[in-house]
Amino acid sequence: MPTIKTNDGTRIFYKDWGSGRPVVFSHGWPLNADAWDEQMRLVAENGYRAVAHDRRGHGRSDQPWRGNDMATYANDLAQLIEQLDLRDAVLVGHSTGGGEVVRYLGRHGTARVAKAVLLGAVPPVMLQGPGNPEGTPLEVFDGIRAGVDGNRSQFYWDLSESFYGFNRPGADLSGAEGLRRAFWLWSMQVGARGAYECVRQFSETDFTEDLKRIDVPVLIAHGDDDQIVPIAAAALKTARLVPDNVLKVYPGAPHGLYGEFRAAFEADLLDFLKA
């Protein structure tokens, strides 16, 4: 399997498809690079080089005891980009992966990056607080930690329903079971410590200053029925902090890419890449 080795000796698995301007995908929690396969194939077939990695602790990458934090995730992404010598890249991050992309841009700048895409991304900050009343209460994240720490298999299966919006009245359930099974399989590949520690990283990290530093065009894409990362505390605030952005709101769309939401986002992604 293709891997890079980070400064602390952690091996990071990655996929590398096609050729052309690199488009680098960062996945959400608790998934891995496979969650981007359809979009990787799409951009590779349209003349781009698609690269996606498994975050440390996830999928086929190593599961180190230490380093399960947003700064290290961003550093791992930086080392992937540098070791593959990617330039003029477009970074695409979903959910926690969006936080990873934003922290990378805040810490490492845009010397190798031309654009970025944030899909259902966690910035600026998910956790509810005095300055973020639209955020999600701490007890919700405590419940996620309890699920990971308890019967994680059942927890991931249950989570997949709201992740894709299959619990909504009138939801399109054709193919739902297959997608939920894939979500469960990817989730079960996450190491227990990495999965547990990542909850604090995606929920409590404040990306406000990172967002303000971004000096490349950003596509901000979010479903307005996202039950995992509610849009009011995420994309709508991010759009007020990023100097150069395009905001795309998908009516009735959930957190995970599926059906009409997937088709609409993929069209917007290709348009943004070509612009």
Classify burial at 176, counting beta carbons within 10 Å of its beta carbon; exposed 0-12, middle 13-18, buried 19 or more.
Answer: middle
Cis peptide before 133 (omega within 30 of 0): no
For 180, what's the count of Cα atoms within 13 Å in the CB-facing half-sphere?
20
Interatomic CA distance for residues 162 and 215, integer angstroms: 34
Interatomic CA distance for residues 249 and 216, integer angstroms: 20
Count of CB atoms situated within 10 Å of the CB of 227: 15
Active site residue 153: no
Q: Which of 95, 160, 187, 203 is catalytic?
A: 95
Active site residue 206: no
Active site residue 94: no
Angle in degrees, CA 51, 180, 23, rounded to 5: 15
Interatomic CA distance for residues 27 and 88, integer angstroms: 20
Enter the tokens of residue 263: 């088709």
For 110, what's the count of Cα atoms within 13 Å in the CB-facing half-sphere?
16
SS (H, E, C) 150-202: CCHHHHHHHHHHHHCCCCCCCCCCCCHHHHHHHHHHHHCCCCHHHHHHHHHHH
Catalytic residues: 95, 226, 255
